[in-house]
Amino acid sequence: MARSNSINHDLAVALSPVVFARSLGIEPDSWQSEVLRTDSKRIILNCARQTGKSSIVAILALHHALCQDKSMVLIISHTLQQAAETFRKCRDYYRQIAQPVLSITESVHRLELQNGSRIVTLTGQRPESIRGFSNVSLLIIDEAARVPDESYHAARPMVAVSDGRVILLSTPLGRRGFFWDTWANTADWLKIEINADQCPRFTQAFLREEKQTLPDWFFRQEYFNFFAEVVSSVFRLEDIEAAFNHPELPVLDIDLSLD
């Protein structure tokens, strides 16, 4: 995601999310352009740290709120601070475009526009705090691998009536939870994977230093989208699966009846 010096404030650019990003002085990477252009209702971004996933989703969220009157955009993360960080990018972009749609309310957790659209942030740590929202047209789960399954399940019905979009974005955190399950086992999602050496803003020198400094599983998880097992596991998941699926594994007929 490269920045340019020229910013076009003409509202006409809002017709295209990619042109809208460029009007903010941002030239999206090719995968970011795909996120902005797609009409997919379900998107999952499995991306290394600092590759620009939160920034591009923030641009998409703001574009949606500006161009879709009375839209409800909900940003959920594992902590309110993290959700607010993604929202801060939305707010900063909004201020940068000279506010073509005036705001009614603007705070660290909420932006309400005169066209009736809202962008609201919530923490995913308390599922009960999510249930009061409805008719969500864009549901964003940031750092989704760290959000409890219960919160994701509580949020999903919010897009039922609106036929809204769901975007999951995260770096992996083990082979567990809805983020892993969606990535590994769910069809009909637009799945985009970007690792560190696909990002032009990473240098090979930095990655070599990180590889030498960090535990191997952690380096692969943070920079190469590796879904590691739980660190405390005695056996690797693939070894367990291979053992149970081995063609020469005998089938044991054990009588569990009680005398």
Token pair 């959700």 is at which residue? 83
Neighbours of 60 (CB within 10 A): 24
Q: Is the pLDDT of residue 8 over 60?
A: no
Tokens standing for 88? 């801060």
Rounded to a whole number of angstroms, the CA Rg of the chain reads 21
121 touches 129 (CB < 8 A): no
257 vs 91, more confident: 91
- CA 98 – CA 8 distance, rounded (Å): 10
Name the DSSP class of 157: G
28-65 pLDDT, tens digit per residue, is 999 999 999 999 999 999 999 999 999 999 999 999 99
pLDDT band for 218, please (50, 70, 90 cuts). very high
pLDDT band for 14, please (50, 70, 90 cuts). low
Token pair 């999952």 is at which residue? 44
67 touches 91 (CB < 8 A): no
The proportion of the chain whose per-residue pLDDT surpasses 70, expressed as a percent, equals 78
What is the identity of the amino acid at 191? K
Q: Is the pLDDT of residue 21 over 50?
A: yes
54 vs 236, more confident: 54
Report the predicted TM-score, pTM, of the whole model to 2 decimal places. 0.81
143-175 pLDDT, tens digit per residue, is 999 999 999 999 999 999 999 999 999 999 999
Q: How far is CA 129 from the centre of its chain?
A: 20
What pLDDT is recorded for position 99?
56
Name the DSSP class of 88: H
Q: Is the pLDDT of residue 13 over 90?
A: no
Q: Is the pLDDT of residue 74 over 80?
A: yes
Nearest to 142 by CA among 162, 123, 117: 123
pLDDT band for 236, please (50, 70, 90 cuts). very low
The proportion of the chain whose per-residue pLDDT surpasses 90, expressed as a percent, equals 56
Name the DSSP class of 249: P
Which domains can be identified in the chain, with CATH numbers? Answer: 30-244 (3.40.50.300)
110-146 pLDDT, tens digit per residue, is 899 888 999 999 887 777 777 778 889 999 999 999 9
